[in-house]
């Protein structure tokens, strides 16, 4: 929905050398497409999530730089600039910000750059892309859009968001998979609403 062509998706059980997903990005300056590599972590980026265990983001970034970029980028995309996207649902905590900034500065060059995809950016992308069509059924989409649009009128926003939650939950009455999907829909919608409400 945002103009990316997905090359690989997250998978379980195979070593991915720090890359949870990759995509050919939409054209940027000079009409050139970039090859985007996504390393995905959940929640806020804390000190432990940055460099405290083998699954930490810094370890993943090192594997991307040392192994994935030289070895696994498809031949037809080797000439393209590479952007490594640091994805996490929350924010970078202050104690780690300088470490992340220094790492990015040390490894950025004419071929490789970095982008921070935090909760705010992801919420904005969801509104621009996937929330327009696919996340919610058409009947529920209106409630979500009105709850976000009316966030400066809390009573109205709450009424529409409550109707959205009721509608999502009423569709998740059969299988475990449907209930998990409903929880994910609610979580994403609530995060988007929170970001918009905070900005207001």
Each residue's pLDDT tens digit, 73-106: 989 999 999 999 999 878 899 999 999 999 999 9
Residue 3, token pair as written in the block: 């103009």
Residue 29 backbone dihedrals phi, psi, to 5 degrees: -60, 145
Those residues whose C-beta lies under 8 Å from the C-beta of residue 8, and which sit 6 or more positions away, are 19, 21, 22
78 and 108 in contact (C-beta within 8 Å)?
no
Closest CA to 187 of 152, 149, 144: 144
Torsion angles phi and psi, residue 41, rounded to 5: -130, 160
Confidence check: pLDDT of 141 > 60: yes
Q: Of 103, 170, 104, 106, whose CA–CA distance to 136 is shortest?
A: 170
Instruction: Report yes or no on whether pTM surpasses 0.75.
Output: no
pLDDT(59) > 90: yes
Distance (Å, whole) CA 164 – CA 160:
6
């Amino acid at each position: 929905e945002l103009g990316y062509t997905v090359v690989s998706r997250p998978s379980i059980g195979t070593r991915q050398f720090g890359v949870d997903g990759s995509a050919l990005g939409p054209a940027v300056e000079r009409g050139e497409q970039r090859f985007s590599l996504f390393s995905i972590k959940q929640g806020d980026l804390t000190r432990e999530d940055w460099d405290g265990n083998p699954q930490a983001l810094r370890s993943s970034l090192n594997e991307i730089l040392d192994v994935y970029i030289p070895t696994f980028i498809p031949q037809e995309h080797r000439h393209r600039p590479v952007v490594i996207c640091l994805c996490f649902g929350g924010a970078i905590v202050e104690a780690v910000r300088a470490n992340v900034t220094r790492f990015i500065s040390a490894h950025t060059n004419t071929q490789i750059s970095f982008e921070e995809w935090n909760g705010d950016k992801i919420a904005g992308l969801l509104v621009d892309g996937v929330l327009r069509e696919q996340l919610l059924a058409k009947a529920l989409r209106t409630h979500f859009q009105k709850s976000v649009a009316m966030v400066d009128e809390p009573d109205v926003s709450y009424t529409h968001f409550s109707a959205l939650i009721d509608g999502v939950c009423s569709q998740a009455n059969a299988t475990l998979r449907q209930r998990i999907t409903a929880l994910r829909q609610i979580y994403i919608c609530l995060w988007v609403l929170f970001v918009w409400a905070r900005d207001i």
